[in-house]
Amino acid sequence: EVQLVESGGGLVQPGGSLRLSCAASGFTFSSYWMHWVRQVPGEGLVWVSRIDSDGRSTRYADSVKGRFTISRDNAKNTLYLQMNSLRAEDTAVYYCARDADVTVAGSPFDYWGQGILVTVSS
Partner 1 sequence: SYVLTQPPSVSVAPGQTARITCGGNNIGGKNVHWYQQKPGQAPVLVVYDDSDRPAGIPERLSGSNSGNTATLTISRVEAGDEADYYCQMWDTLSDHWVFGGGTKLTVL
User: Which residues in this chain contact partner 1 in the complex, by CB under 8 A?
Assistant: 35, 37, 44-47, 50, 59, 61-62, 95, 100, 105-110, 112-115
Nearer to partner 1, 42 or 75 (CB): 42
Nearer to partner 1, 58 or 74 (CB): 58
Nearer to partner 1, 16 or 108 (CB): 108
Q: How many CB atoms are located within 10 Å of the residue 8 CB?
A: 16
Distance CA 97, CA 24 (A): 10
Cα distances from 111 to residues 42, 56, 91, 108, in angstroms, run: 22, 22, 23, 9
CB of residue 15 to partner 1, shortest distance in Å: 26
CB of residue 108 to partner 1, shortest distance in Å: 4
Residue 28's identity, in one-letter code, is T
CB of residue 97 to partner 1, shortest distance in Å: 8
Of all residues in the chain, what percent are helix, strand and coil, respectively (each to 5)?
A: 5, 50, 45
